[in-house]
Amino acid sequence: MTKLLEPPEGRQVFCRTFEPTPADIDENGHVNNVVYLRWAQDMGVAHWQSRAPAQEQATWAWIALRHEIDYRRPLLPGETAQARTWVAEAPQGPRFDRFIRIDGPDGQMCAQVHTTWVLIEQATGRPRRVPDWITQVFT
């Protein structure tokens, strides 16, 4: 990724904040890069749990196929991160792309993540085509 991620006009966006803990700070005095990956995972899960009905959450689950992360500036101890996530316009079979942007308190991007998720049927553990209702609820 080289361009800054922004959600398309009219796209549903899920937001939350993250407060780094002392364990999140590395030897360089800022949030460790691996923490951004954990926050991206947390954003995807929280977004799913906030929009999908409970019975559907019991039927379906998501697994990460691929993560791509760009780091732009450090997030320092005591700074609050503002995170936003949204999904691509349309899935491709069982795959659905998710985008996460994590900004510092000044609104400047600290990191951005592009993750490809795969929908699985929990009973079988097998990938399944993303149903239309999921596309409608999340886009």
pLDDT in tens, 111-124: 999 999 999 999 99
| Cβ(49)–Cβ(57) below 8 Å | yes
* Residue with the larger pLDDT of the pair 7 and 74: 74
Pick the CATH number of 14-138 from 3.30.1370.160, 1.20.1280.50, 3.40.50.720, 3.10.129.10: 3.10.129.10
Identity of the amino acid at 14: F
pTM of structure: 0.91
Provide the residue count of the chain: 139
Residue 2: what pLDDT? Answer: 66
CB half-sphere exposure, 93, CA atoms < 13 A:
5
Strand partners, 126: 121
| Cβ(43)–Cβ(16) below 8 Å | yes
Model confidence at 10: pLDDT above 90: no
* Residue with the larger pLDDT of the pair 1 and 103: 103
